[in-house]
Structure 1
Amino acid sequence: MKTDCDVVVVGLGPAGTLTSLLLSDSSIKVIGIDKEKEIYSLPRAVTIDDEGLRTLQRLNLENIYLENGTAIEGAYFLDDKLQKLSGMDVPANFLTSNGWMPNLMFHQPFTDALLREELLKSSCFIKLETELIEIVPIENYYIVKTLNLTNGKEDSFTAKYVVGADGASSKVRNLMEFDQEDLDYDKNWLVVDVKLKVENTLPTFAAQICDPKRICTYIPAHLPFRRWEFILLEGESKEEMLKETKIQKLISPWLRPNEYEIIRAAVYRFHSLLTTRFKKGNCFVIGDAAHQNPPFMGQGMMSGYRDALNLSWKLISVIINSLPKELLESYEEERKPHSRFVVDGSAAIGKLMSAYAEAIAKGNPSDVPQELVDRGYGSFSLPPLEKGLFYKGYSDSDSMAGSLFPQPLTMEGTMCKERLDSLLGKGFCVVSTEEVELMPYQKKFYKIINANFLVIEKSMLNENPWLNNVMSKNDIYILRPDRHIFGSTSDKITFEDLTEDLRERLSL
């Protein structure tokens, strides 16, 4: 049956907007709905990382964040006297293997407004002030029933796929009857955003302040904004914490009341929750609808962006390139374990703050569990995807399957002259340092999946240490459309082995 659209996206916050833009960029017909008419006017997310900027680069939208963001000089755990306990420095001009700075602090109302402009200019059909009522599965499509909140009229349309990006209280998740798993962090925190009235003299690093009297977080948001997060102590009420005099007292070590304007103060329950399923039939959940974590890693929005890219390229491959629908099963297989790591890691940072505070109170700041220290800033990095559409089905350190391939760059000293992800194309890509000779059946297969072939020149390897390091390990890499490595050749794995395995996994 011909449906009204290919994909309906429910919820048009950052994750839903990115999904819609990625899909429409490949000529997929998208209907996007949101209960609200306007974007949320206050900041919630404040951090985008190198992987997020690389994703936005696919759409030439990275400047939305670059022009409204500020790089930080590090992230640390501090004691009650604001002395460093542990953490990491971020050198100026440092670029990760993704070709961008590790983190950028932004002001969400600015960036969301610009993303909304791009969404409204796109080919997506956008229905604002529209509430989801029901999702009715009918054979191989869905009837999506909605309510127009301006006139009270009900409407319905048909879609092949439904993506729930509708936040922590997701209606899509509830309609699909997905349960949530509690990952053992559940505390009340006061979040305060301020706008500076004076020239900034505050640090440009993020800090988890492990004061035995009250742990708190300081975030150097994009100027002129700053954020603090304070844990509520036993017996403290939401009403008490939201009093202006209370907030002023909490911020007094940093600023006097006449030096700032409070633009948001709210008490939140910081949860660690993971939805038990990310997919049912052809209905998916992404972002906060799928996972919620404390903000200590700054990875809430980024987990949603990773969901968006992972799901989008698979939907594009199925809808546009006619790859088998079984490919979509790997969305949950890949994203759920990775999301669990982020949720667990965020909770671990909160637990490390409390452990440091307890140790400081006892006079021995170093007396904290090593397993918590190992989850702190600078002690770990996000892992590869564990299993899914990779050679033999799993990540592998030798072949680098499951890891992100470095972005090709041209450099001038330590400065990036040009980012060249576009050389990899939008689909699968075979990367090598010498031309790959294909057998007839391989030519046919790679044409079917619309693969690109890229031979990396020595001059680029000499300029790019990340790329040079990867290409010195193995000769040929097969990349997925999301830049994750499917697998690579070695003394044990031939290009024919890789091709056959990929062909079998795509059922071609």
Structure 2
Amino acid sequence: MSGSISANEYQVAIVGFGPSGAVAASLLGAQGIRTLAVDRDRLVYDKPRAIALDHEILRLFDNLGIAGQLAPHIGPFPASEHFGAHGQLIRRIDMVSEPYPLGYTPTMVFTQPPVEEILRAHARSYPSVVVELGTELRRLDQTPDGVTLELCGEHGTRNVSADYVIACDGASSLVRRQLGIGFDDLVFDEPWLVVDLRVNASGIAKLPRTAAQFCDPSRPTTYIVGPGSHRRFEIMLLPDEDPRAMEQPEQVWRLLARWLTPDDATLWRAASYRFHALVASKWREGRVFLAGDAAHQQPPFIGQGMCQGVRDVANLVWKLARVLDGESGAALLDTYQEERSAHVRELTTRIKAIGHVICERDPEAAAARDVRILAEGGGMPRTITRQEIVPPLSCGLRADVPHAASGTLFPQPWLVTSRGRQLLDATCGVGWRLVLRGDSALARSRAIAARAAEMGLRLIAIADADQDQGPDVMREESGVVTDWFTRHACAAAIVRPDHYVYGVAADEAGLAAMLSDLAAKLR
């Protein structure tokens, strides 16, 4: 792809080569887009920071062809049991049950340093991607035709030019500050200590077998079961405690004494943070886009921090590719902020609400909270899923006809193929897709097939495995898509390259109108 002519050296420059920047570089490289990625740090930080990802993000990694490489460093995220002020179980947050809607374990834990190394190496593997580490951005200047970046690296200071810039340069983003973009404060500010451990067999035997939130008003604490021997505690700090002093090993072991002694584990990292809920007031300034922590920060209570940044670049890159290739006008890029800002704000608000429940310090209020949460489950601890906490896209590039399915993630079934059992994306590829219910009249419509081909949409028809609908119909293993069509009372779904549903239709007239509307919007 990307044969557009530009006077600039690069079509896209990425500032920051952490997880979001590395994924952005791979997505751009997969499209053949001339890309420069820079980072002032030469090496991946050798201690874990992010610890959770979900099936949407693993689906993207699988689309890039690296899920197998990442597998040794990833494990399932078990249910998180929430214990009230008196140690009683008040609720669980778990994952949805099988058959999994996207084909993967819905929530996972991972160890960041090796995963980040794999993400970086994969980005470097694309011929169109240049990576320069130990290179710092000094300033950038925009013109109507591009962006000039002043870079300082091992060969001194130089200027490079790019059509567009993606700033993935972290919470203290120089790009955001140079652009004068501030944060909207969603009002959450709490001091916590994050402790990562490598736990031996004696320690593992002492710890809870599942993740836990200890909603104890005297000291709220989160416990996470990481891959292998990796365990994490997130411990709320009290008003009179010095965050830096609490990072010292003697203080860390004092806080962990309820669970472990130094004989049970090796201290890997202890770092104090203020958990914030912040969203950039603008995500785009001309040809420069913010992504990842440069655009938002949220409390970590359902492990969505890195996921949010990867969603940002997955949303942005396919739009940039269309604009750079002349397939769409630059107005398409306006939907990036519209979609991602609304999504991040909604999800952060939901995470913040969970955080307020966990962080309650008043004993009477905590007791009332426990009674209320148990009442919500009819007097018993109820289970909610992490997947219902993550919202759909509520605005942006969606069909004009309102429907509950629009903006949701389209499911990914396991298919029965001549090559054996395969996931939908591996069998059919990615990009814009028109997915039809295999036993519907739409699957037999030549007019719809012709229109989809004209628009460059990959046409996919799916039916249950026990239905023989002809050679052009894919057969799914567990009825995931068939059930989805039934639940949403439709027979067709237009699916975007980032796997979000543009819109659905029940008949040929409705689908034809929606395809025409989409063609106009993409132009």
Kept after mapping to 2: 8 A contact 1:97/1:406: yes
Asked if 1:295 is matched to 2:288, the reply is no
Asked if 1:118 is matched to 2:122, the reply is yes
Kept after mapping to 1: 8 A contact 2:493/2:504: yes
1:154 deviation in Å? 0.9
User: Aligned partners of 2:177 and 2:383: how far apart in 1?
Assistant: 34
Please point out which of 433, 441, 461 is paired with 1:455.
Answer: 461
Higher deviation after alignment, 481-490 or 2-11: 481-490
* 1:364–1:286 CA distance, 2 compared to 1 (3 A): closer
C-alpha offsets along residues 353-384 of structure 1, whole Å, 9 cap, x if unaligned? 1348735765872146999x999953843221
Aligned AA (1:501): D
Map 1:353-502 to 2 at 5 A: 353-355=358-360, 358-359=363-364, 362=367, 365-367=370-372, 377-378=384-385, 380-392=388-400, 396-397=403-404, 400-410=405-415, 417-432=421-436, 433=438, 434-435=442-443, 437=445, 439=447, 443=450, 446-447=452-453, 449-459=455-465, 463-472=477-486, 473-490=489-506, 494-502=510-518
User: Aligned partners of 2:389 and 2:255: how far apart in 1?
Assistant: 32
Asked if 1:334 is matched to 2:323, the reply is no
C-alpha offsets along residues 230-287 of structure 1, whole Å, 9 cap, x if unaligned? 1111111124312322211211121121111111111111111000111121211111
User: Aligned partners of 1:323 and 1:329: how far apart in 2?
Assistant: 12
Kept after mapping to 1: 8 A contact 2:223/2:232: yes
User: Aligned partners of 1:368 and 1:105: how far apart in 2?
Assistant: 26
Please point out which of 19, 41, 54 is paired with 2:59.
Answer: 54
Kept after mapping to 2: 8 A contact 1:461/1:468: no
Asked if 1:184 is matched to 2:198, the reply is no
Match in the other structure for 2:102: 98
Please point out which of 272, 275, 284 is paired with 1:279.
Answer: 284
User: Aligned partners of 2:512 and 2:324: how far apart in 1?
Assistant: 27
Identical counterparts, % of pairs: 30
User: Aligned partners of 1:31 and 1:370: how far apart in 2?
Assistant: 54
Asked if 1:343 is matched to 2:348, the reply is yes
User: Aligned partners of 1:14 and 1:115: how far apart in 2?
Assistant: 7
Q: Number of matched residues?
A: 496
**3-state DSSP of counterpart to 2:359:** helix
Kept after mapping to 2: 8 A contact 1:384/1:404: yes
* 1:317–1:369 CA distance, 2 compared to 1 (3 A): farther
**3-state DSSP of counterpart to 2:114:** helix
Aligned AA (2:490): N
User: Aligned partners of 2:446 and 2:138: how far apart in 1?
Assistant: 52
Gaps of 5+ in 2: 1-5, 466-473
* 1:451–1:491 CA distance, 2 compared to 1 (3 A): closer
* 1:502–1:452 CA distance, 2 compared to 1 (3 A): same
User: Aligned partners of 1:183 and 1:131: how far apart in 2?
Assistant: 31
Aligned AA (1:504): A
Gaps of 5+ in 1: none
**3-state DSSP of counterpart to 1:261:** strand
Asked if 1:195 is matched to 2:198, the reply is yes
Kept after mapping to 1: 8 A contact 2:91/2:382: no
Aligned AA (1:396): H
Kept after mapping to 1: 8 A contact 2:403/2:504: no
Asked if 1:31 is matched to 2:39, the reply is no
**3-state DSSP of counterpart to 2:166:** strand
1:480 deviation in Å? 1.2
Please point out which of 248, 252, 261 is paired with 2:257.
Answer: 252
Higher deviation after alignment, 64-73 or 280-289: 64-73
Map 1:3-14 to 2 at 5 A: 3-14=8-19
**3-state DSSP of counterpart to 2:263:** helix
Higher deviation after alignment, 485-494 or 374-383: 374-383
CA RMSD between the two structures: 2.8
User: Aligned partners of 1:294 and 1:228: how far apart in 2?
Assistant: 14
User: Aligned partners of 1:174 and 1:501: how far apart in 2?
Assistant: 39
* 1:132–1:448 CA distance, 2 compared to 1 (3 A): farther
Kept after mapping to 2: 8 A contact 1:428/1:479: yes
Match in the other structure for 2:471: none
Kept after mapping to 1: 8 A contact 2:169/2:294: yes
1:76 deviation in Å? 2.1
Match in the other structure for 2:133: 128
Kept after mapping to 2: 8 A contact 1:423/1:454: no
